[in-house]
Structure 1
């Protein structure tokens, strides 16, 4: 999701309220990866995004931390128009490091 949000040019048009979603995504990522920031896959991702995206660099340097929340997510699809989903983050018993996120279609 980080790669799409900050490296894909169409993301700012596709994701409604991109600036707020990007801010939350970085803050949630920081919260989830806190103790693992020195691990190569995470460190490599952050280094790459910091060098390739000024938006990511700005948000990363803000050092904001937030827990993941559910809620309505809206997308502006080029063919289907506006799409709305309810986001739910799941916590798997016995696997605190895995948090699948599900988007369910909604009309409100």
Structure 2
């Protein structure tokens, strides 16, 4: 049995067994030999054949439609993260919903403010800046306060001041583009990436030259030289922390070297 079908079978079984019959609105029937719902009960709740569902949970080589997977997810009362996981295990692409602003927990949004006077900001999957403090406003002029939501990649390639702030602009910009490429590969259906990449191609000759070279990098911590408006060229260490609940949201904190 291929690993992915085995994982799908184990995931379905674990979620079925954790669901009490009362949660599904089923009457009590005395002692039960197995925890949670029976396969036949879940199949009825999802509106699918009991035999077919059994094959799916056994890891047989069958393919479920989006409608069937959605019905099973609803019957199991999966949350959004679990539903996406189910679709991926079943070999279905998960369409990213980018119709609105990227959600950010209030507790996470407050963290950059607590880190003042160290420049700090929270970025989303496509480098939208979701939260920041005043020190970040001072260090990255023209990134904030415009008519569009701030985006660190757009600022780097389209804002002339970015080439003054980022002392080693070519190295920093090229690495940033490689990280964007890696993230875009993880979200092939997310229109935010398509729009941003198209905009960058139109605005930047460097993007048009570097993008075909297909460089990829993960997000990471490191060091960079930045030109501070009061202190001049300063060597900064920056550290990236991924949020536990939303690992593609990243807190970035800068500290100046002594």
Relative to the length of structure 1, the TM-score reads: 0.86
* Residue in 2 that maps onto 1:38: 189
| Cα distance, 1:90–1:66 mapped onto 2, change above 3 Å | same
Matches within 5 A, 1:1-108: 1-107=152-258
Deviation, structure 1 residue 37: 3.5
Larger Rg: 2
Relative to the length of structure 2, the TM-score reads: 0.39
Deviation, structure 1 residue 35: 2.3
Unaligned runs of 5+ in 2: 1-151
What's the RMSD between the two structures over aligned residues? 1.6
Larger relative contact order (Cα-Cα within 8 Å, sequence gap ≥ 6): 1
Give aligned pairs, total.
Answer: 107
Deviation, structure 1 residue 74: 1.0
Unaligned runs of 5+ in 1: none
**Alpha-carbon separation, structure 1, partners of 2:188 and 2:208:** 16
Q: Which moved more, 1:49-58 or 1:98-107?
A: 98-107
Higher strand share: 1
**Alpha-carbon separation, structure 2, partners of 1:87 and 1:37:** 29
Deviation, structure 1 residue 79: 4.1
- Give the secondary-structure state (helix, strand or coil) at the position aligned to 2:227: strand
